[in-house]
Amino acid sequence: MRILVVGDGKVGHSLAENLAREDHDVVIIDKSSQVLQKSIDMLDVMCIKGNGANIHTLMEADPKNVDVVIAATASDEINMLCSMLARRLGAKYSIVRIRDPEYNDSLPLLQSELSIDMTINPERTTALEISRLLRYPFASNIESFAKGSVEMVEFRSCKKDPILGIPLKRLMNRKHRAMQVLYCAIERENEVIIPNGDTVIQEDDHVYVAADMVSITAFFKYLGRNAFPVRSVMLLGGGRISYYLSKMIIPLGIAVTIVEIKQDKAEALSEALPDANIICGDGTNRDSLEQEGLTKMDAFVALSDRDEENMIAGLYAAKLGVGKVIVKNARSGYQEVADMLKLDSVVSPKNITCDTILRYVRARSNSRGSSVEKIYRLLSGKAEALEFIARADAAYIGVPLRSLKMRKDTLIAVIVRNGRVIVPFGDDHIEAGDDVIAIAKGSMIVDLQEIVQA
């Protein structure tokens, strides 16, 4: 597919990198020669200097042959105008990043009038992920599949866990509710393991498990991890993520305190969020955090614009004994630092945005097959969880899983059939219309038949 990316910032560059790796023909437009030079040096893409909302610049990208245009500049208005012009010039589909809360209520009309096929709001999507982590504090990261019926949860194993040192084939048990989860992926010393029956979990592993939420909750109760609910949370930074998150969790009965250093932003938040406690102060000052009641909070979420400050503040909150600590991190290079500091719940708006857009592009590129319904990158992108809808004419339909030939380093994690969640064993099979969640190391997979063959 020919894909036009307008805006070569963090999101645009990451998207171009992933799309080029998947053998798409990628064109990037940006006004900065310096920024484009980085992509020219590092990526196999075509770069055009100019304004993506300028018709002459767009014509250089040959819009009539563009399958998908992705508008991801820093300006919502430029993104919308770029999408409209590109579609009028012949581009087939458009994806637009729109971040300003002011546009929320008018999005359906804007999409219809401006021929936008998909919009994405990174801050709102990030806030949604954080809200799930606050509702289920036993998880390091959590993602839902099959319209919310399946949860995939990451946790770090610790010395007291009763599952350590036991082969997974002995842990799997249909009759024991706490054991009705599938172990999807393990990261150990920066190596990703797609587990089999002989795999043994060790202390300090990053482990992903999947099942319905009842089984997940029972599993973590068995581990002794679901000790407390979150009733109060302190947010560091009063940006858009804090605004969206507060709107989501205050109705759930969670008391919200936001610490924002800028007076004007603090005043605006006070008007927009009358039920939140807004404090104008330096949230990176440890004494200030304690004075504002950090030690009494059930959770702390660091959402400032500086990743370094988020990590330091998160580490300090964990040291004070705050039960749940979540840190925003925009730089992939800092993920290893977060792991070393044992900051388990790290969210990245850039990764969330890229995952969502990549899923859409993969679905478009394989529209006649069992295309990817959802994609979630695990363990810093070293593995992927993919959701497919099984096709009636596929050769694997009705064949027991033990009789299928599986691609190396892949795993069928969960099957959802008519709303019923099945953690599959060798005798289980896939039926037409099933939601199938698969795990793959590395991946770049677009069709379920790439994973299972009869």
Residue 144's pLDDT band, with cuts at 50, 70 and 90, is: confident
Q: Which residues of 390-427 are buried (b: 16+ CB within 10 A; e: fewer)?
A: bbeebebbeeebeebeeeeebbbbbbbbeeebbbbeee
Task: Read off the pTM.
Answer: 0.78
Strands 68-71 and 93-97: parallel
- Determine the pLDDT at residue 41: 93
Identify the bridge partners of residue 188 per DSSP, sorted by sequence position: 191
> CB burial class (10 A; 0-12, 13-18, 19+) of residue 139?
buried
- Determine the pLDDT at residue 174: 53
Residue 367's pLDDT band, with cuts at 50, 70 and 90, is: low
- Is 2-120's fold the same as 134-223's? no
pLDDT tens-digit profile of 385-432? 989 989 898 999 999 999 999 999 999 999 999 989 998 988 999 999
148 versus 415: the higher-pLDDT residue is 415
CATH class of the domain whose range is 134-223: alpha beta
- 70 HSE (CA, 13 A, CB side): 27
Angle at 445 between CA 444 and CA 449, to 5 degrees: 165
- Determine the pLDDT at residue 300: 96
Which CATH code of 3.40.50.720, 3.30.870.10, 2.30.33.40, 3.40.50.2300 fits the domain covering 2-120?
A: 3.40.50.720
- Determine the pLDDT at residue 221: 86
Query: What sign for the dihedral angle of Cα 121, 127, 130, 135?
Result: negative
DSSP assigned state of 431: -
User: Coil, strand, or helix at residue 427?
Assistant: coil
- Determine the pLDDT at residue 55: 93
Tokens linked to 415: 């099957």
Least confident window among 1-5, 298-302, 355-359: 355-359
CB within 8 Å of 37: residues ≥ 6 apart? none
Query: What percentage of the chain has pLDDT greater than the value 90?
Result: 56
DSSP assigned state of 159: T
Residue 436's pLDDT band, with cuts at 50, 70 and 90, is: very high
> Is residue 96 pLDDT above 60, yes or no?
yes
**Nearest-angstrom CA–CA distance, 11 and 37:** 16
> Is residue 360 pLDDT above 70, yes or no?
yes
- Determine the pLDDT at residue 92: 94
- Determine the pLDDT at residue 216: 86
337 versus 181: the higher-pLDDT residue is 181
- Determine the pLDDT at residue 245: 96
> Is residue 321 pLDDT above 60, yes or no?
yes
Residue 372: what residue type? V
**Nearest-angstrom CA–CA distance, 97 and 115:** 14
411 versus 453: the higher-pLDDT residue is 411
> Is residue 370 pLDDT above 60, yes or no?
no
CATH class of the domain whose range is 372-453: alpha beta
Least confident window among 47-51, 59-63, 367-371, 390-394: 367-371
Residue 28: which region, alpha, beta or left (left: phi > 0; alpha: psi -120 to 50)? Answer: beta
pLDDT tens-digit profile of 254-273? 999 999 999 999 999 999 99
Least confident window among 9-18, 169-178, 205-214: 169-178
Cα dihedral 40, 46, 51, 57, rounded to 10, equals 150
Residue 127: which region, alpha, beta or left (left: phi > 0; alpha: psi -120 to 50)? Answer: alpha
> Is residue 32 pLDDT above 70, yes or no?
yes
CATH match of 232-322 with 3.10.20.90: no
Q: What is the mean pLDDT of residues 94-117?
A: 90
Query: What percentage of the chain has pLDDT greater than the value 70?
Result: 93
> Could you tell me the residue ranges of all domains in the chain?
2-120, 134-223, 232-322, 372-453
User: Coil, strand, or helix at residue 233?
Assistant: strand
**Nearest-angstrom CA–CA distance, 243 and 194:** 38
- Determine the pLDDT at residue 255: 96
Tokens linked to 241: 């993520």
> Is residue 446 pLDDT above 80, yes or no?
no
> Is residue 235 pLDDT above 80, yes or no?
yes
> Is residue 177 pLDDT above 60, yes or no?
no
The mean pLDDT value of the chain amounts to 88
- Determine the pLDDT at residue 257: 96
Q: What is the mean pLDDT of residues 287-302?
A: 90
- Determine the pLDDT at residue 294: 92
> Is residue 335 pLDDT above 70, yes or no?
no
> Is residue 366 pLDDT above 70, yes or no?
no
pLDDT tens-digit profile of 190-207? 899 999 889 999 999 999
- Identify which of 388, 397, 386, 385 has the alpha carbon closest to the alpha carbon of residue 432: 397
- Identify which of 274, 310, 243 has the alpha carbon closest to the alpha carbon of residue 99: 243
